[in-house]
Each structure stands twice: as structure tokens, then as C-alpha cells.
Structure 1
Amino acid sequence: MTTGVNQVTIAELAALMKQAAGVSVDAHDLEARAETPFSEFGLDSLGLLGIVGELENQHGQALPTDAERCKSPRAFLDLVNGSLTTGA
């Protein structure tokens, strides 16, 4: 198993928040506040659903249905990267 393959970074998440949900957030701020709820960044569940869809398209695999219910960037990245790594 190779590590680092298909991992979504904080910077990618920040870019996806802008692209899929129209929410501009600095990647460094997002990293520093990774435990902060998405709502405090101005991202709602619909925006997160758009990000999930975009990641599914980019990686060619479905993400866990829980992904759109994650409350913070850290929880989202942990779940998504765990799923992409295992292919589950």
C-alpha cells in the first residue's frame, strides 16, 4: 500500500470550498482552525455536498455517506482520506 496517494490536503479543501461552494478561506487559516465547525467558515451542508461530489468526480470513487455530515475540516479530511486510502 502506498501512502500519500489520493490524499486531499488542506489547500485542496480550501480550493474546493471556493470552487464548489463559493466560500473563500485561506488555506493557512483553515489549517490553523481545522477543528472549527464548517459553519464558522460560512460553509453549509449543501456546500459540503458539492465538495463531496467534486471529490468523487476527481477520484473516481464514492465517498462515505457520512462525509457530507462532517462538522469540521479535520473530521472531513480524516474521513475522506481514510476512505481514499483504503478504497472503501
Structure 2
Amino acid sequence: MSNNLSYPELAALLQARAGVTVTAGDLEQPGAQFDDFGIDSLGLLGIVGELENRHGLKVTSGAESAKTPAEFLELVNNSLSAKAGA
């Protein structure tokens, strides 16, 4: 598994944890927001919890409040990079 979370992995997590079917291409669209797909902070909180369990790390505070997929990936990947460098 990659050290970074990708759009396809995020799409799979959204399906599994938030029950929302969305494609990686949809998430990558410029200006795409989680609200556009019916994803709220509770849905993101479930994904954050799953990532924390998988990687044994605390994801940067605020990831569950991200407004866009790009913002979410940046926050999560920064957390993963910090762990890898530790």
C-alpha cells in the first residue's frame, strides 16, 4: 500500500465508511466539494477513524472538517508523511 492516500482509495473509503458512491474522477474535479456528493463531517470522521486504525497514527486535527477532497488528501497525506519521517 502506498504511503499516500489517493483519490481512488478515498473513493473506496467513502463507499465503505460513508455509504456514498463516487468516482475518483469526480473527487478530482477542480472545485469539487464534499457537500456536492452528500458527504458531511460525520462521514469524514468515519474515514479518519479507519485511516487511524490502518496506519496507527493520529490524523491531523481538522481533516474531518475538510471541505474538498483535495484538502482532505493534503491533510491526511501530511500526517502519513510525518509518520514516515519519524
Q: TM-score, normalised by structure 1?
A: 0.87
Deviation at 1:34, TM superposition (A): 5.2
> One-letter code of the match for 2:70?
R
**Identity of aligned pairs, percent?**
54
Within 5 A, what are the aligned runs for 1:1-88? 5-31=2-28, 33=29, 35-87=31-83
Deviation at 1:35, TM superposition (A): 3.4
Q: Map Cα deviations across residues 31-67 of structure 1 (whole Å, 9 max, x no partner).
A: 2x25321011110111010010011111111101211
> One-letter code of the match for 1:40?
D
What is the RMSD computed on CA atoms of the aligned residues?
1.7
Q: How many residues are treated as equivalent by the alignment?
A: 84
Q: Any stretches of 5+ residues in structure 2 without a counterpart?
A: none
Contact preservation (8 Å) 1:7, 1:81: yes
Contact preservation (8 Å) 1:21, 1:47: yes
Q: TM-score, normalised by structure 2?
A: 0.89
Which aligned runs of 4 or more in structure 1 are off by greater than 3 angstroms?
none
